[in-house]
């Protein structure tokens, strides 16, 4: 399988796409076609555990990787999760399910891919004959950073560096990142928001001068953000796995359509669901849920992506994003895989802050996606009500999704449309955002994160993840704050 750039002629193997992270023309790598998963394969998957299911999906894209070694690596990755099943599906009631993706080493769904990416990258370097050391740069709205640090810490021949918005992450997320030990990690705060961090990292990737200076020090850049196709494909697997679990438990029959609701920021998670659909998974609607930063909601409703708008800090910080990188991959598909049109639109986005798609494209995307957004009040309300009704505590990001699911179901009723079973993707442990979750559940404000953790535990009896317990008294190792202009200086210094 080859991978193409969304913006031009570049065409590379999967291994190279992973090592490079981003195409030379600034585009994102996409598979040349979507491999299909047959009914027979789905029925084989029913008998498989999660690592086997994931290895099957990965193998379809990264066919130059050895299948046996891939399975072994994936198995090792998911053995670091606290649950036996890395992606358990919880039945709330018939027709409503929650896919829990937060049982990994950093309590957010980013672990689903970032525990696997180090292997994909190391093997990718071997397959492509890359001899330089790899310097991973990650911009983070809170969760990618820690997951990348955990995934790559102490890995050989790799250094990993993450940039986060100084004021834009939760206290717990900051604590998680800044206490990371390991001889090859670095964490730097940026004066600005997530978009500033992401733009800064992309600038470094795109700059010949930066790449040259790093090459002189023996380093090659790669990305741990979902712009890297090696981040995206492992995420496709859990949509198949959820469908298989619904089949095994007799909740659906093969061919029944299932809707998925995804709390969305950089559009990586929900894009993986779209990829699963393209591979033949019977997906109904994809519910794209945003917080107050509702640039995607507007885009899906009217076809204009307009990033020039106020940026809000919310209680779902991992979704505080106005430039959703992975949307580029959807735009590429919608345009009939037209790299020139995609490049023009992305250029308009970077120069004018906006672009529009055609009326036909809007219609096409509305057939697949339902988009909605939740205010802070809506989110609090939905966490509270869901807990009262079902005894299930959700984190703030999942709360956003659940709120939009309410609106989605109402729209189906209004239109007398057919309802499918719906899987709500839960992207983080409630303990990762303890103050906001406690506030939603009880109306109580606490200053201390761990006081919040304790109270949520008393209230819900949900187990506190070991990884959050472990960092409570750890030393803060990283304190540096820089302006976006100084990001590359930090990278250079770190590469020494």
Whether residue 110 lies in the annotated active site: yes
Contact present, 1 and 19 (Cβ < 8 Å) = no
Helix (H, G, I), strand (E, B) or coil at 25: coil
Identify residues 112-171 at the interface with ligand PLP (CB under 6 A).
Answer: 143
Please report whether residue 267 would count as binding ligand PLP according to CB under 6 A.
yes
From candidates 265, 421, 452, 484, binder to ligand PLP by CB under 6 A: 265
Q: Which of 108, 224, 365, 404 binds ligand PLP (CB under 6 A)?
A: 108
**At closest approach, how far in Å is the CB of 318 from ligand PLP?**
3
Position 268 contacts ligand PLP (CB under 6 A): yes
Catalytic residue (one of 60, 110, 277, 432): 110
Q: Minimal distance in Å, beta carbon 362 to ligand PLP?
A: 21
The residue with tokens 């066919």 is 63
Which residue(s) pair with 359 in the sheet?
Answer: none
130 token code pair: 């890359």
CB nearer to ligand PLP: pick between 128 and 291? 291
263 contacts ligand PLP (rule: CB under 6 A): yes
CA distance 90 to 355: 39
Task: Please report the sign of the dihedral spanned by the C-alpha atoms of residue 309, residue 315, residue 319, residue 321.
Answer: positive
| Gap between the Cα atoms of 30 and 439, Å rounded | 41
Stretch that binds ligand PLP, among 177-185, 209-217, 259-267, 273-281 (CB under 6 A): 259-267
Name the minimum Å distance from CB 218 to ligand PLP: 32
158 vs 289, beta carbon nearer ligand PLP = 289
Among 147, 133, 327, 322, smallest CA distance to 225 is for 147
Where do the DSSP E strands lie in 36-122?
89-93, 96-100
Q: Does 318 bind ligand PLP (CB under 6 A)?
A: yes
Closer of 18 and 247 to ligand PLP (Cβ): 18
Residue 381 tokens read as 């309300």
Rounded to whole angstroms, how far apart are CA atoms 52 and 420?
Answer: 27
266 forms part of the interface with ligand PLP (CB under 6 A): yes
DSSP 22: S
Are the C-beta atoms of 10 and 23 separated by less than 8 Å? yes
Site for ligand PLP in 170-229 (CB under 6 A): 226
For residues 150 and 172, what is the distance between their CA atoms, to the nearest angstrom? 15
Contact track, ligand PLP, 273-312, x by CB under 6 A:
----------------------------------------
Give contact residues for ligand PLP (rule: CB under 6 A). 108, 110, 143, 226, 263-269, 318-319, 397, 427-428
Residues designated catalytic: 110
């Amino acid at each position: 399988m080859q991978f193409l750039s969304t913006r031009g002629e570049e065409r590379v193997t999967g291994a190279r796409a992973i090592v490079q992270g981003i195409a030379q023309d600034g585009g994102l790598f996409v598979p040349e076609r979507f491999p299909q998963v047959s009914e027979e394969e789905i029925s084989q998957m029913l008998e498989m555990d999660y690592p086997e299911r994931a290895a099957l999906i990965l193998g379809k894209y990264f066919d130059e990787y050895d299948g046996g070694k891939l399975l072994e690596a994936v198995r090792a990755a998911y053995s670091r999760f606290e649950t036996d099943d890395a992606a358990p599906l919880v039945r709330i009631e018939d027709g409503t399910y929650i896919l829990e993706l937060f049982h990994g080493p950093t309590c957010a769904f980013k672990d689903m891919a970032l525990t696997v990416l180090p292997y994909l990258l190391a093997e990718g370097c071997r397959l492509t004959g890359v001899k330089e050391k790899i310097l991973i740069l990650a911009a983070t709205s809170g969760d990618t950073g820690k997951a990348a640090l955990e995934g790559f810490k102490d890995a050989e021949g790799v250094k990993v560096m993450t940039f986060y918005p100084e004021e834009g992450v939760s206290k717990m997320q900051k604590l998680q990142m800044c206490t990371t030990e390991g001889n090859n990690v670095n964490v730097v705060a940026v004066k600005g928001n997530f978009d500033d961090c992401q733009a800064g990292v992309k600038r470094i990737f795109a700059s010949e001068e930066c790449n040259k200076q790093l090459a002189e020090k023996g380093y090659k850049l790669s990305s741990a953000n979902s712009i890297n196709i090696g981040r995206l494909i492992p995420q496709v697997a859990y949509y198949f796995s959820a469908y298989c679990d619904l089949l095994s438990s007799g909740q659906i029959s093969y061919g029944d359509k299932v809707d998925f609701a995804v709390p969305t920021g950089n559009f990586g998670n929900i894009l993986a669901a779209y990829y699963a659909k393209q591979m033949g998974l019977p997906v109904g609607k994809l519910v794209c849920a945003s917080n107050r930063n509702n640039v995607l909601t507007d885009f899906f409703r009217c076809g204009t992506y307009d990033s020039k708008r106020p940026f809000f800090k919310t209680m779902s910080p991992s979704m505080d994003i106005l430039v959703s990188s992975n949307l580029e991959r959807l735009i590429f598909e919608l345009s009939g895989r037209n790299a020139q049109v995609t490049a023009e639109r992305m250029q308009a986005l970077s120069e004018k802050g906006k672009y529009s798609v055609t009326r036909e494209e809007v219609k096409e995307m509305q057939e697949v996606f339902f988009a909605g957004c939740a205010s802070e009040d809506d989110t609090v309300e939905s966490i509270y009500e869901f807990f009262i009704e079902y005894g299930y505590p959700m984190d703030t990001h999942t709360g956003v999704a659940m709120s939009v699911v309410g609106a989605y179901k109402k729209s189906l009723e209004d239109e007398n449309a057919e309802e499918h079973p719906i899987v709500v993707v839960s992207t983080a442990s409630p303990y990762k955002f303890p103050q906001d979750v406690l506030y939603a559940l009880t109306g109580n404000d606490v200053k201390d994160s761990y006081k919040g953790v304790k109270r949520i535990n008393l209230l819900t009896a949900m187990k506190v993840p070991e990884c959050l317990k472990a960092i409570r008294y750890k030393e803060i190792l990283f304190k540096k704050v820089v302006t976006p202009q100084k990001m590359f200086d930090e990278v250079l210094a770190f590469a020494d």
